Amino acid sequence: MARRRVTCFISYAWEGKRHENWVNRLAEALAANGVYVHLDLWETHPGIDIAKYMESSVRGSTHVLIICTTKYADRADGRKGGVGWETSLVTGQIFSGTKNKKKFVPILRQGEPAKALPTYLKGKLYVDFRGRAFRDPLEALLRHVFDERERKRPDIGERPAFPTVVLPKKPAAKARRAPKPTEKKAVVRKKQRELQRLMSAIWATGSDRETRRVQAISRAATDLADLRKPATRRKPASRRKRG
């Protein structure tokens, strides 16, 4: 699939011949590295509709490079001259929600960011061309417009193989200890005395207390019968005779 051609429109303020020469140098460097540049120094002529030229260049370019200086910021915020008209076009696209979030690129050429960046660009990252060095910021700008980052996100690897989840073992239930013969006899005697006491008690017939008495006698008799049952022994497993 063929890549879309990268085109840049350069927005700047008229600030003398020296600044104009620097803007022209930047445009030539971009063109030498495969970028189609819209620059008024190359494209305008007497009789051209300058407003229409700026509008078509801003809307039709993949990127708009904004050469920021203190004078540019003053004209942009005050909507003065050509810079003011370009600012209206740029902010209109920004606030209407342009699809290309990387389209508008602040180029800091002179001054501190607080004074050189227009209000609508404050707080945004910029390419710093203020020093004498030209190659490094140019490379950063070219990487941006061609979307070729120096450091790229690595491919996502496979999910790690976690160890098998092991549930802790539940503590073994303690086997109920069979009561010793002497202990069992003592419990039997206790239950016998309880049963005798309940049977010898005299309560009013038909009352709730009489009903509870009968229920208590029944439970005590059942418990006593269970205690008197002989303990069952598990039969050993039968062994097959060898032939």
Higher pLDDT, 134 or 229: 134
Nearest to 63 by CA among 27, 95, 19: 27
If you ran DSSP here, which 8-state letter would residue 229 be given? S
CA atoms of 136 and 27, how far apart (whole Å): 16
Q: Is residue 197 over pLDDT 80?
A: no
For 128, the 3-state DSSP assignment is strand
Query: Residues 6 or more apart from 50 whose CB is under 8 A from it?
Result: 40, 44, 82
The pLDDT score that the predictor gives to residue 1 is 47
Contact 79, 23 (CB under 8 A): no
Q: Look at the pTM and tell me if it is higher than 0.75.
A: no
The two most distant CA atoms of the chain are separated, in Å, by 133
Q: Which CATH superfamily is domain 7-145 in?
A: Toll/interleukin-1 receptor homology (TIR) domain (3.40.50.10140)
Q: 127-163 as b/e, with b when 16 or more CB fall inside 10 Å?
A: bebbeeeeeebbeebbebbeeeeeeeeeeeeeeeeee
Domain ranges of the chain: 7-145, 181-228
Query: Tens digit of pLDDT for each residue in 122-173?
Result: 989 999 999 888 999 999 999 999 999 998 888 888 888 887 777 778 877 7
Q: Is residue 196 over pLDDT 60?
A: yes
Q: Is residue 48 over pLDDT 70?
A: yes
Mean pLDDT, all residues of the chain = 84
Q: Give the range among 106-110, 131-135, 176-180 with minimum mean pLDDT.
A: 176-180
CA atoms of 17 and 147, how far apart (whole Å): 32
